[in-house]
C-alpha cells in the first residue's frame, strides 16, 4: 500500500525541486537557443537566464520569485492502493503544499478571487488542484507538480472547420503578438496547443501539452507531429526574441494535443509555459520506494486512447 506519509514527503520534495531546479530538457533547449542567438541584447538576456538557473541550484533559491500556482497531476496505477484512498492523497498534497510554501519558501500566491483573502499557504478553494489519469496494469502512482506563472500567455478561440490550419497558424501568430511584446510571456517558452473537445477541454489540453511534455517530444500521430514542427518553425520566424526584443526566435517547442470535438466546430487554445519551467515528477511504488523522473509521461497511450476498450500496443 502506498503510505500517506510517502505521498506527503514526496509532494514536499517535488515542490522544492520544481521551484529550484530547472528540468534538464528545458535547460538544454534554452542553452542551445542562447548559442544560436545572433542579436546581442537577446543573447545577453539568455545568458542571464542560464546564469539564473545555475544560481538557483547552487544557492537553493527559487528560480523565479513568482512561484506560480502549484498544481498536481496524479497518474494512478489501476492496481495501486493508496492509504486513505484519493481523499487521503488530496489531503497529503494539500498539507505538503502548505509545508512547502513556508519551508522553501514559495510565495503564497493563492488568494480568494473576490475578497483577495490570502491564507498564506497556497491552499484554498480548488487550490491546489489535482488532476487524475490512470495507468492500466500497474500498482505504482506517479505524482507531478507544476508551478506555472499565471497572468499571460494563454488564449482561447472558437474556430470552425472552414478556418482550418490557416486559422490555427493565425492564432499562434496572434498569441505571439499579444504576449511576446515586452516579453510578457517570459519567453523562451514551450507552446502547448489544444485542439478540439469542448472549450474547457481544449484549454486543459493546451496547458497539459505545454507543461507535461518534455522539449523534443513529438505527438505519436505523424500528421500532428508534422504540424508541431511547422508551427515551431513559423513561431520562430517572427523576429521576436526574449523580452520582445529582436531575436532569432524564443519558442523551445510546440506540443499539440487533440480531442474529438463537435462536428461543426474547432475550438482551440494556446498556452505558453515560461522559461521558469517548473515541473517535477516522482513514481511511488507499492513498496513506498520513490524514484524521481525527468519525464512526466502524462500523455500515455491510455490517456490518448481512441477506441472503446483500451488495447495496449
Residues near another protein (CB under 8 A) are 39-41, 44-46, 48-49, 51-52, 55-56, 59-67, 102, 104-109, 111, 118, 120, 149, 151-152, 157-160, 162-163, 166-167, 169-171, 173-174, 177-178, 181-184, 186, 234, 237-240, 242-246, 274-276
250 contact, one of another protein, ligand SF4, none, CB 5-8 Å limit per kind: none
CB contact at 8 A, 31 and 50: yes
Task: Please select the residue that binds ligand SF4; options are 4, 44, 52, 66, rule is CB under 6 A.
Answer: 66
45 contact, one of another protein, ligand SF4, none, CB 5-8 Å limit per kind: another protein
- Say whether residue 22 binds ligand SF4 (CB under 6 A): no
- Say whether residue 128 binds ligand SF4 (CB under 6 A): no
- Distance between CA atoms of residues 269 and 254, nearest Å: 13
Structural element, H or E, at residue 200: helix 199-212
DSSP H helical ranges for 59-119? 85-103
Q: DSSP code of 309?
A: S
Give me the least distance between CB of 50 and another protein, in Å please.
Answer: 10
Report the site for ligand SF4 in 222-251 (rule: CB under 6 A).
Answer: none
Q: How many CB atoms lie within 10 A of CB 29?
A: 21
Give me the least distance between CB of 42 and ligand SF4, in Å please.
Answer: 16
Query: What is the side-by-side order of every strand in the sheet holding 130-135?
Result: 130-135, 69-77, 141-148, 278-284, 290-293
Residue with cell 519551467: 277
- Say whether residue 149 binds ligand SF4 (CB under 6 A): yes
Q: What are phi and psi of 62, to 5 degrees?
A: -55, 135
Task: Pick between residue 39 and residue 218 the one whose CB is nearest to another protein.
Answer: 39
Look at residue 250 and give its three-state secondary structure: coil
For ligand SF4, the binding residues (CB under 6 A) are 64, 66, 68, 149, 186, 274-276
Amino acid at each position: 500500500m502506498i503510505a500517506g506519509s510517502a505521498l506527503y514527503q514526496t509532494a514536499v520534495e517535488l515542490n522544492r525541486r520544481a521551484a529550484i531546479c530547472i528540468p534538464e530538457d528545458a535547460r538544454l533547449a534554452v542553452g542551445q537557443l542562447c548559442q544560436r542567438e545572433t542579436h546581442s541584447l537577446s543573447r545577453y538576456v539568455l545568458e542571464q537566464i542560464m546564469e539564473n538557473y545555475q544560481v538557483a541550484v547552487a544557492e537553493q533559491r527559487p528560480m523565479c520569485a513568482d512561484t506560480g500556482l502549484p498544481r498536481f497531476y496524479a497518474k494512478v496505477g489501476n492496481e495501486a492502493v493508496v492509504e486513505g484512498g484519493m481523499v487521503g492523497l488530496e489531503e497529503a498534497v494539500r498539507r505538503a503544499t502548505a509545508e512547502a510554501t513556508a519551508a522553501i519558501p514559495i510565495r503564497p500566491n493563492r488568494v480568494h478571487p473576490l475578497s483577495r483573502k490570502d491564507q498564506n499557504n497556497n491552499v484554498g478553494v480548488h487550490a491546489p488542484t489535482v488532476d487524475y489519469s490512470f495507468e492500466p496494469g500497474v500498482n505504482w502512482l506517479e505524482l507531478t507538480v507544476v508551478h506555472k506563472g499565471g497572468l499571460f500567455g494563454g488564449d482561447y478561440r472558437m474556430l470552425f472547420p472552414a478556418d482550418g490550419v490557416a486559422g490555427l497558424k493565425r492564432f499562434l501568430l496572434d498569441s505571439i503578438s499579444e504576449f511576446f511584446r515586452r516579453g510578457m510571456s517570459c519567453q523562451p517558452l514551450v507552446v502547448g496547443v489544444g485542439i478540439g473537445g469542448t472549450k474547457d477541454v481544449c484549454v486543459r489540453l493546451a496547458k497539459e501539452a505545454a507543461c507535461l511534455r518534455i522539449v523534443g517530444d513529438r505527438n505519436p500521430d505523424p500528421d500532428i507531429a508534422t504540424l508541431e514542427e511547422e508551427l515551431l518553425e513559423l513561431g520562430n520566424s517572427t523576429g521576436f526574441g526574449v523580452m520582445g526584443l529582436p531575436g532569432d526566435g524564443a519558442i523551445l517547442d510546440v506540443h499539440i494535443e487533440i480531442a474529438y470535438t463537435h462536428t461543426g466546430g474547432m475550438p482551440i487554445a494556446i498556452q505558453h509555459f515560461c522559461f521558469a519551467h517548473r515541473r517535477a515528477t516522482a513514481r511511488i511504488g507499492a513498496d513506498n520506494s520513490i524514484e524521481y523522473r525527468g519525464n512526466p509521461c502524462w500523455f500515455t497511450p491510455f490517456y490518448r486512447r481512441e477506441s472503446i476498450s483500451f488495447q495496449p500496443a
